[in-house]
């Protein structure tokens, strides 16, 4: 089973920041937090990952709490093309166990 | 930017037939994976492959399934005798050492 808990769905207005939460209270010290997304039956797409520190790349920012039990993925200026299922995954260079993810709807 | 490719994009086969799904991982990657996604369900891990051998497989990956890296570029998934319940999207993924996985666009397998 997936080791994370995410809301089933979320809405966000186009142009606003989308903040997707994830709980991973049983994460162990050497496990990373990864985020992937899947746009309508396409292959999952890597977004970002982190261990302890907050991370930012061209797609998103990842905020990890100090106790590492939860994190938030931030899409700073959501567009309609960001409509997808977003998966928060706890992993250590291993197979990915996908949960149901959060279905993010970007509203025009 | 290099990407994982998969062929065919859609395969239709009759129950009991053998199918081979093909993947070309990114060239300098070391670890290879197959996943599947039945329509409307979660993406499920099937098998991981490293150093020319299976490193882990799931309960789904029974004796009907096999994987092979026949040359330096291709990575194949064979289903020996397909069943109706094998109908799904099959995704190949690869990664370099200690990094994220890159997924291909998938092969839609329809078993009739």
Q: Which residue of B has its CA nearest to A94?
A: B48
Q: Which residue of A has its CA nearest to B99?
A: A93
pLDDT digits (tens, 9 = 90+) for B56-84: 999 999 999 999 998 878 999 999 999 99
A43:B98 CB<8 A: no
Residue B25 contacts A, CB cutoff 8 Å: no
A100:B42 CB<8 A: yes
Q: Which residues, 6 or more positions from A76, have their beta carbon under 8 angstroms from its beta carbon?
A: A17, A60, A61
Residue B1 contacts A, CB cutoff 8 Å: no
Q: Which residues in chain B are contacts of A98 at CB distance < 8 A? A: 35, 42-45
pLDDT digits (tens, 9 = 90+) for B21-61: 999 999 989 999 999 999 999 999 999 999 999 999 999 99
Distances from the Cα of A56 to the Cα of A48, A49, A64, A73, A107, angstroms: 8, 9, 12, 10, 24
Confidence grade of residue B1 (pLDDT, cut at 50, 70, 90)? confident
Q: Across residues B5-34, what is the average pLDDT?
A: 96
pLDDT over threshold 90, residue A93: no
Measure CB to CB from residue B102 to each of A46, A93, A97 and give the nearest one: A46
Measure CB to CB from residue B101 to each of A38, A46, A97 and give the nearest one: A46
Q: Which residues in chain B are contacts of A43 at CB distance < 8 A? A: 4, 91, 93, 103-106
Q: Where are any strands of DSSP class E within chain B?
A: 5-7, 10-13, 19-24, 31-37, 43-50, 53-57, 65-68, 75-79, 88-95, 102-103, 107-111
Residue B31's nearest CA partner among B105, B106, B96, B107 is B96
Residue A60: predicted pLDDT: 98
Confidence grade of residue B6 (pLDDT, cut at 50, 70, 90)? very high
């Amino acid at each position: 089973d997936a080791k994370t808990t995410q809301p089933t769905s979320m809405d966000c207005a186009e142009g606003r920041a989308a903040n997707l939460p994830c709980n991973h209270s049983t994460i162990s010290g050497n496990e990373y937090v990864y985020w992937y997304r899947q746009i309508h039956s396409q292959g999952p797409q890597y977004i970002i990952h982190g261990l302890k520190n907050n991370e930012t790349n061209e797609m998103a920012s990842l905020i990890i709490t100090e106790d590492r039990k939860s994190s938030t993925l931030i899409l700073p200026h959501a567009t309609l093309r960001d409509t997808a299922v977003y998966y928060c995954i706890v992993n250590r260079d291993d197979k990915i166990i996908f949960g149901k993810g959060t279905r993010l709807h970007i509203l025009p | 930017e290099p990407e994982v490719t998969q062929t065919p994009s859609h395969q239709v086969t009759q129950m009991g037939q053998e199918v081979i799904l093909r993947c070309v991982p990114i060239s300098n990657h070391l670890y290879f994976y197959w996943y599947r996604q039945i329509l409307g369900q979660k993406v499920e891990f099937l098998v991981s492959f490293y150093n020319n051998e299976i490193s882990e497989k799931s309960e789904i990956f029974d004796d009907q399934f096999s994987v092979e890296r026949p040359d330096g570029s291709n990575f194949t998934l064979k289903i020996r005798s397909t069943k109706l319940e094998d109908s799904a999207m099959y995704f190949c993924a690869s990664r370099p050492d200690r990094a994220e996985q890159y997924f291909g666009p998938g092969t839609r397998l329809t078993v009739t």
